[in-house]
Structure 1
Amino acid sequence: MEFSGFEGFEKRLELHFFGDDPNPTINHQLGLRKLEFESIQQILQAVQCTVVSAVGNSYFDAYVLSESSLFVYPTKIIIKTCGTTQLLKSIIPLIYFANTHLNFTLSSVSYTRGSFIFPNSQPFPHTSFNEEVSYLENTIPSNLCFRKASIMPSKSSSHSWHVFTATQNPHHHIPYEQYTMEICMTELDPILAGKFFRRPDEEKSGNSSGNQMTELTGINEINKEAFICDFAFDPCGYSMNGMDGECYSTIHVTPEDGYSYASFECVGSISDNDDNIVHMLRKVVQIFRPGTMSVSITTCSEYNNEVWRKVTGALEPLGLKCRSCAMDQFPAIGSVVFQTFTPRRRKNASK
């Protein structure tokens, strides 16, 4: 029998909706945030995960899940789950609740993930990317007719990037200067990964232990302006959601030796601060020191060259070399730049 540990690599689904009411009430302006918690629980039940902690601000609600995170904005929802969850099974109940409760219509879908560490352990419809694409094609409404599926390759077979998008409007994509950054890291430094284990005799709650891990590891230094909701799992593992105005960030850690994994994701504006992406990348690398790392940034195509140079410029001084860089265009989300990094080989001291 093939050994199978916990699958750290997440599946990420983002759905955008629009309403038909020309004079929306305050409830309609809240949009998807008005969905009852029971409806959210039913959606997550289809995925096979649960809520362990939740916070909200004036822009969106953020949920830490038993397997990763959920973000709910007025007109979009982002679900990110790991393990053997069946993420794509959330689409049908999501469309149903958005339509029946809010009279909202689905306008675009994007699905992304890395390469699973334990692909043979994944259940339907995640047994392969072809199966996932087939499921998506048959599940989403036919009016989302502008579609594209692609596997963006790299020199590391363990870090290919799988992307599917669909929209009814080919010119609809993320705001001009906004970016989404998804980082996947494997082969974490064992000492640093050890900070995400709880002590056997520890009696603190998952929230208290999570807060301790956030400060101990320096995660709270990535964005000092963010309000952090964190959770530590027993006996190991960690999740956090950060809220900074309308922007979110999230981290998930599977620290077990042999299949260690960590991810960092955030949204932001390229115009906010030229050094913002550089700062976050460097802090993330310092916290985990991965053996292999991939960075995917989704943004307007005008920033393609600027993005990959900025990422490379941030990571190379830390001893990481860019091994591959791929770029592609997708309906609904714009441009994706996908890069992989590994440490530079050190020269043999005897030579």
Structure 2
Amino acid sequence: MALSGFEGFEKRLELHFSGDDPVGLRRLDFLALEQVLDAVQCTVVSAIGNPFFDAYVLSESSLFVYPNKIVIKTCGTTQLLKSIPSLLTHALELGLNVCGCKYTRGSFIFPKAQPFPHTSFREEVLYLEESLPGNLCYRKACILPSKASSSSSHSWHVYSASDQHRVDHLSNIFTIEVCMTELDRVLARRFFRQCDDGYSGDVAGREMTAATGIGNINPSAIVCDFGFDPCGYSMNGIDGGDYSTIHVTPEDGYSYASFECIGCKFEEIGEVLKKVVRIFRPGTMSVSMTIGEEGVQGMCSRVASALKPLGLDSRSCRIEDFPAAGSVTFQTFTTRRK
């Protein structure tokens, strides 16, 4: 917990592994996962799985475990990158070798509250460089800034490392990460619990999901949700091999919500973003997408066109290519009242 308030902006780590075991990382038992999360300083509060992967709601955000991929997303003052040594050791014991890494985060609301190695992006990159094996030779670190004149400056930090010589084209499927601040105060109140409501976190989470319309973003998804006491919300939605996840810090002054999904098709993204914006009505918003090279053209304009009727105007758009990892787009939006 930051002295000024809770840090909503997440750090996100994605590791890919090569190996022949069809179960792979899903063989990790709960004790092994606890060891990884202990290093990060968070715990599991709820879990769900299907034939494709396992999804965990954490005390600070989410964890997704596929046979050959793991994604950890944590907020607050967690030390996410400290999970890497333990993860690589456990994976090696399973006969898996890391073949790709991606780390992303936005600009912290309370940067001075962050512990090592998250005190700066430079320190994070140095820690990554020292923690990853030498076979990940295609490396790049980059900060994608918004317009310097923006009333709420926000940048996107990306580090990528891979041992692959080419991008694995994702056809029309990609990853999207959305960060929202200055949430509508009335809508944000739905993520506060009643005093002494007697509910478990799971029951409170289900009520929040139903009251806010979050369950309608992808009606075919199975939702695992959790409502924190006295406020805050997290959910993971699983749909086949795809997931979506939402995390909310609703307090006035530093309100924040994030939405992430993997597997959403290009033609669906506009409608998905509209549903998300209507739930939170943010004053500022950023949208980052990781796309195979073939899908970059037109995506920024597609997103801007979807958000404009909702009162969010595009303030900046950046595109950066990463070796053997695709392209990352970063757009920022503010309401017209700004």
Aligned equivalents of 2:165, 2:158: Cα separation in 1: 16
TM-score norm. by structure 1 comes to 0.93
TM-score norm. by structure 2 comes to 0.96
Amino acid of the structure 2 residue aligned with 1:231: F
Gaps of 5+ in 2: none
Structure 2 residue 184 is matched with structure 1 residue 189: yes
Amino acid of the structure 2 residue aligned with 1:205: S
Aligned equivalents of 1:158, 1:254: Cα separation in 2: 20
Match of 1:349 in 2: none
Structure 2 residue 23 is matched with structure 1 residue 30: yes
Match of 2:222 in 1: 227
Amino acid of the structure 1 residue aligned with 2:90: F
Question: Could you tell me how far 1:345 is from its partner in structure 2?
Answer: 3.4
Structure 2 residue 60 is matched with structure 1 residue 67: yes
Aligned equivalents of 1:123, 1:173: Cα separation in 2: 35
Distance 1:154 1:260, change over 3 A: same
Aligned equivalent of 2:213, options 208, 215, 218:
218
Aligned ranges for residues 81-230 of structure 1 at < 5 Å? 81-100=74-93, 102-155=94-147, 156=150, 158-173=153-168, 175-230=170-225
Question: Could you tell me how far 1:269 is from its partner in structure 2?
Answer: 4.6
Question: Could you tell me how far 1:310 is from its partner in structure 2?
Answer: 1.1
Amino acid of the structure 2 residue aligned with 1:213: M
Aligned equivalents of 2:60, 2:3: Cα separation in 1: 21
Structure 2 residue 251 is matched with structure 1 residue 262: no
Aligned ranges for residues 283-294 of structure 1 at < 5 Å? 283-294=275-286
Gaps of 5+ in 1: 22-27, 347-351
Q: More deviation in 203-212 or 157-166?
A: 157-166
- What is the alpha-carbon root mean square deviation over aligned residues? 1.3
Amino acid of the structure 1 residue aligned with 2:134: S
Amino acid of the structure 1 residue aligned with 2:260: E
Amino acid of the structure 1 residue aligned with 2:144: M
Match of 2:16 in 1: 16
Find the residue that maps to 1:290 and give its secondary structure.
Answer: coil
Find the residue that maps to 1:29 and give its secondary structure.
Answer: coil
Find the residue that maps to 2:98 and give its secondary structure.
Answer: strand
Kept in 1, the 8 Å contact 2:3–2:113? The answer is: no
Question: Could you tell me how far 1:56 is from its partner in structure 2?
Answer: 0.3
Distance 1:173 1:47, change over 3 A: farther
**Length, aligned pairs only:** 334
Distance 1:222 1:108, change over 3 A: same
Aligned equivalents of 1:210, 1:269: Cα separation in 2: 24
Match of 1:25 in 2: none
Deviations 1:141-182 (A, max 9, x none): 011111000000102454200000001113144633221000
Find the residue that maps to 2:22 and give its secondary structure.
Answer: helix
Find the residue that maps to 2:206 and give its secondary structure.
Answer: helix
Question: Could you tell me how far 1:332 is from its partner in structure 2?
Answer: 3.7
Question: Could you tell me how far 1:335 is from its partner in structure 2?
Answer: 0.6
Amino acid of the structure 2 residue aligned with 1:222: I
Kept in 2, the 8 Å contact 1:180–1:297? The answer is: yes
Kept in 2, the 8 Å contact 1:32–1:76? The answer is: yes
Kept in 1, the 8 Å contact 2:169–2:293? The answer is: no
Aligned ranges for residues 233-312 of structure 1 at < 5 Å? 233-270=228-265, 274=267, 276-312=268-304
Kept in 2, the 8 Å contact 1:161–1:338? The answer is: yes
Deviations 1:89-116 (A, max 9, x none): 000000000101x110000000000000
Deviations 1:256-295 (A, max 9, x none): 1000000000012536xx2x21111001110001010000
Aligned equivalents of 1:108, 1:154: Cα separation in 2: 27
Kept in 2, the 8 Å contact 1:195–1:213? The answer is: yes
Deviations 1:207-233 (A, max 9, x none): 001000001001011111110000000
